[in-house]
Structure formats: structure tokens, C-alpha cells
Amino acid sequence: MDLPASRGRWRRRSARSHVPLVVAILVLLLPASLLFSSAYSTMLRALFPFPSTPGGADTPRPRCGGSAELEGERFLWYAPHSGFSNQVGEFRNAAVAAALLNRTLVVPPVLYHHAVVLGSCPKFRVTDPASLRAAVWDHAMQLLLDRRYVSMGDIVDLSSIKSMVRTIDFRVFVSLWCGVDMRKACFSRLCCAVSGGSSIPDDYNRCRSLMSGLGGSEKGCVYPVQDDCRTTVWTYQQNDDGALDLFQPDEELKRRKKISYVRRRRDIYKALGPGSQAEDATLLAFGTLFSGPYRGSESYFDIHESPKDQRIQRVLDKIEFLPFAPEIMAAGKEFAKNNIKEPFLCAQLRLLDGQFKNHWKTTFSALKEKLKSVELEMKGNKTSGLIHMFIMTDLPPANWTKTFLANVATDERYKLYTLKESDELVLQTAEKLMAAEHGVRSGFLPKLIESMEKDCDPVQLPEILLSIEESVCSCASLGFVGTAGSTIAGSIETMRKNNVCKL
């Protein structure tokens, strides 16, 4: 089954001048086209891109999806974006929102790094929620076409929140709610059994329209949340519903960018819970749920504690740290134990991505200071020998020349260790991870699934090098030094704080 192609993939050919020949061909093909009009129409729809704006002539009219299996359930969906660590942060906020609003969380795929971009909340320049959701849908379908789909639930261990937050894998949800065939996004038998659907292109377009909210709100079906970080900071039980947030666009920005936004703090339960317009909708669709501190405020989601609601407080406590899947954690420990074998230091050096490419000096200075500290500690303990160091960086070894990394690599005082995506440990771990099907198994499944299991052509193995590297760094007994401001460094610090590695 071929999905509708991504926008821009197909280019219109220039018109031909052989008009009589074209007319003759059309006359000859007319009987066949009448005979096979249904199949021909389906083929054409498969070649054209998804509609991107509501109300167009080709826009399929949304019909609320559903199946007997999902009767009575209500769901929450959102649009992840940017890098993996940001996507994990969004997932944690989404889990809190789902628990607050008593909805089943649709667990999304892991998106390619920056395949979907939000923009800048501090600069009040962001993609609107409907367009963001549509971009996530389109990327998910591209992952399906490329057979490179991996669920957030495959990479992150959701077992700690399973009793408090109901979840359903995106593939299972889309196949049941929209009737869309998602088997090309599966690696193993169970996923194939519960992710089947129709092969009609209109189902993909209809589901895109429903889940993105491009067709607007539909009573009893979809409620698309249009509030974003330009206007809203979500809170819960803080007695500040409707109050102005501390951070507002300054007068110069208002004048230069013609901004009229006012940021208000809104209680998410009052706005989207019982008694609200959103309450009856089967699907509540957010845009981004990513948030971070900025100038004394949160950019969008400011729910970190709930002293009045112990159930939500337990959720907040649990989502503060979500470990990687057991296969990934085991791989990190195995590398530390069998390859490094000695106490070691971990250095996470982010040098090429975004703002970090302009801060090499700061990053290398932090590493120099950490090495001095380790050396002094070893002298104080009267310990001699090499300093073993695991390096995780986005700068390829071939480009280390004339950098501080090159100096360290040639210094006889240090012994360096790295991992590559092509290493046997990484590949074997990826295969074990996908075969485990954590993403599908951790959430809602149709009844009588065991008798339904069937084989399918597996997707390609995911790139999990970064996750395994973080797991290795959690085992670094000589300490850790990371790039300032990197969410990856923050993730590693959280892992180390929770003592996940016990060699």
C-alpha cells in the first residue's frame, strides 16, 4: 500500500504540445476509465500529497474515528518536536496532563532530530499547534514509508507509570481509531497483529485531518488545543487562573514584530477538564507540550508539584526520571564492565548542533577543569595509572585535529573509549530492543491478541547509539562533565542522581 506522497515530492511536468495525440488517447481510454473509475481514483489519491489546509476542495470531511475496542475511552495526543531529549521532556509533561484530565495518552514515535521544529517561545515565534500536529503526522507517515519507525515506548521504560497513566501506542491507536494500516511501522509479530487496517488513501488523509485539528473542533470527536506558549502557561491548583504571567513580550519586541500577545496562567483542569468544551471530545489534541524555565517563568507547562492532589503528586514523582528500556541500560553496563573495566570519567561534548557549535571554548574549558580535578583526586588518594575516559560527542574523530580532543587523544596519561552506531554491541541491542516490543506491550491492547499474532516484514533497526552512550555515562565512577545547556547532559545527570548503574 502506497501512502499519499509528502508535499513537494511530486513535481508537475511541463505541458505537451501534441494536443491531437492526447485527445485520441483519451477517447481510447474513456471506456476503460469508466470501467475502472474507482480503482483509478484511488490510485490518483495515493499519488497526491496530504491536504494541508482545511476547507479545500480535496480536503476529506473528518469523521470521528473509533472502534468497539475503544468505546468509552478518551485520549490525549500532542506534537513532539526537536531532539530526542526534548521529546522525552514533552512526553513527561504529556503523562502529567493525561493523568490530570483522566485520558489515555497516545505514545508517539521518536522523531528524527529536528525533523519537526517548534521555533522560539521567548521570541514569540512558534509554529501554530495545528500545523505542528500535521507536521508530526506527516513525519510519522514518512517513518512508516521508510520502515524506520520506533516508538517512544520502545526506548523509554514506561513500567513505572503504567499503574497511574493509561497509554496506547500510536500505531495501535491509529489503526483502531482511524482504520489505518500501520503494519509497515512494526518490527515483530504482536505489533503486526494489532496495527492492521484498511489500505484506502482517504483513511490516511481523514486521520491526518482529525489528529491535527486542521478541520477545527468537532463536538464529541476532536478538541484541538490552540493555546500555545505565546499566550498560555498551563498550571494546576495554583490559584492564579487567568493571571498575567511574569514573562511578557517587551515593548520593543511588540513594536518590531507587531506582537499583540499577552501571556496568561491558566489552570489546565478548569480549561480542559470536567465542564469544559473539551470534556466530551474523544480526542484532546495539544500542540507542543515542551517547556523550560525562562526569566523566572516556565515557557508553557508549569506543573511541578501538587500538594493538594496526592495522585498527581505520585505521577510527578515518577515522571521526574524515566529510565531507558532494560536492553539499553544493560548494554551500557556491559560496555562499562567488559570494555572499559576500570573506574572512568565520562565527557559529553556537544559541539556541532545549534547554539553549541559557537561554544567550543567553554565546553573544552569545562573538560580541562574536570581532568585537573580528577588528577588531583587521584594524587590525594595516592592512586597512579591512566585516567580512563569515555567520550560521547557529535564531532567525528576525523575532525578532532587541532582541537583539545586531539591533544587528549595523544596524551599518554589518558585512555579514551568511544562507541559507534556500527559496533556489534549497539546493533545487537537494537535488535533485542525492537524484538521486545515494549512500545506496543506497555499500553492498551485489543482483547484476544495472543491468537492474532502474525509475522510481518520488520522495520529497520533504530539508531540508539546516543541512548547507550548515556547509559555508559551513568556508570562513570570518576565523574561526569557535560556541555552546559545541553538537555543530553541534563538527562545523564538525572540518571546518575538516580543511581541507575550498579556494577
297 and 232 belong to one structural domain: yes
Of residues 455, 472, 400, the one with CA closest to residue 188: 455
Of residues 77, 118, 117, 127, the one with CA closest to residue 97: 77
Output the pTM of the full model: 0.83
Distance from C-alpha of 133 to C-alpha of 285, rounded to nearest angstrom: 8
Which residue type sits at 7? R
Q: Residue 479 belongs to what domain range?
A: 326-421+463-498
Of 320, 347, 367, which residue sits at a domain end?
A: 320
247 and 371 belong to one structural domain: no
At a CB cut-off of 8 Å and minimum separation 6, what does 421 contact? 463, 465
331 and 186 belong to one structural domain: no
141 and 258 belong to one structural domain: yes
234 and 275 belong to one structural domain: yes
201 and 347 belong to one structural domain: no
Which of the 8 DSSP states describes residue 109?
B
User: How many domains is the chain partitioned into structurally?
Assistant: 2
Of 303, 320, 337, which residue sits at a domain end?
A: 320
Of 290, 320, 350, which residue sits at a domain end?
A: 320
What spatial distance separates the first Cα and last Cα of the chain, rounded to whole Å? Answer: 48
Region of 95 on the Ramachandran plot (φ > 0 left; ψ -120 to 50 alpha; else beta): alpha
Q: Classify the C-alpha dihedral 423-425-431-434 as positive or negative.
A: negative
Read off the CATH number of the domain in which 392 is found.
3.40.50.11350
Of residues 99, 101, 96, the one with CA closest to residue 269: 101
Q: Does residue 103 sit within a domain? A: yes
215, 209 Cβ separation under 8 angstroms: yes
Q: Does residue 256 sit within a domain? A: yes
At a CB cut-off of 8 Å and minimum separation 6, what does 30 contact? none
Q: What is the pLDDT of residue 131?
A: 94
Q: What is the pLDDT of residue 114?
A: 85
Q: Does residue 219 sit within a domain? A: yes
286 and 223 belong to one structural domain: yes
In angstroms, the Cα distances linking 462 to 95, 149, 254 are: 24, 8, 44
Q: Does residue 214 sit within a domain? A: yes
Q: Does residue 55 sit within a domain? A: no
277 and 214 belong to one structural domain: yes
Distance from C-alpha of 330 to C-alpha of 429, rounded to nearest angstrom: 9
Q: Does residue 469 sit within a domain? A: yes
Distance from C-alpha of 171 to C-alpha of 178, rounded to nearest angstrom: 10
Q: Does residue 59 sit within a domain? A: no
Q: Does residue 300 sit within a domain? A: yes
Distance from C-alpha of 22 to C-alpha of 372, rounded to nearest angstrom: 78
Region of 380 on the Ramachandran plot (φ > 0 left; ψ -120 to 50 alpha; else beta): alpha
307 and 391 belong to one structural domain: no
Which residue type sits at 67? S
SS3 302: coil
How many residues in the chain?
A: 503
CB atoms within 10 A of CB 277: 11
List residues bridging with 105 in a β-sheet.
76, 167
List residues bridging with 416 in a β-sheet.
389
* Secondary element (H or E) of residue 314: helix 310-319
pLDDT in tens, the chain (503 residues): 444 333 332 233 333 334 344 333 333 333 333 333 333 333 333 433 333 333 333 444 445 766 788 888 999 999 999 989 899 999 999 999 999 999 999 999 999 988 999 998 888 889 999 999 999 999 999 999 999 999 999 999 999 999 999 999 999 999 999 888 999 999 888 898 888 877 677 778 889 999 998 877 777 889 999 999 999 999 999 999 999 999 998 888 788 877 778 999 999 999 999 999 999 999 999 999 999 898 889 999 999 999 999 999 999 999 999 999 999 999 999 999 999 999 999 999 999 877 888 889 999 999 999 999 999 988 888 788 899 999 999 999 999 998 999 999 999 999 999 999 999 999 999 999 999 999 999 999 887 555 555 677 878 899 999 999 999 999 999 999 999 989 899 999 999 999 999 87
186 and 330 belong to one structural domain: no
Distance from C-alpha of 203 to C-alpha of 96, rounded to nearest angstrom: 31
485 and 347 belong to one structural domain: yes
481 and 343 belong to one structural domain: yes
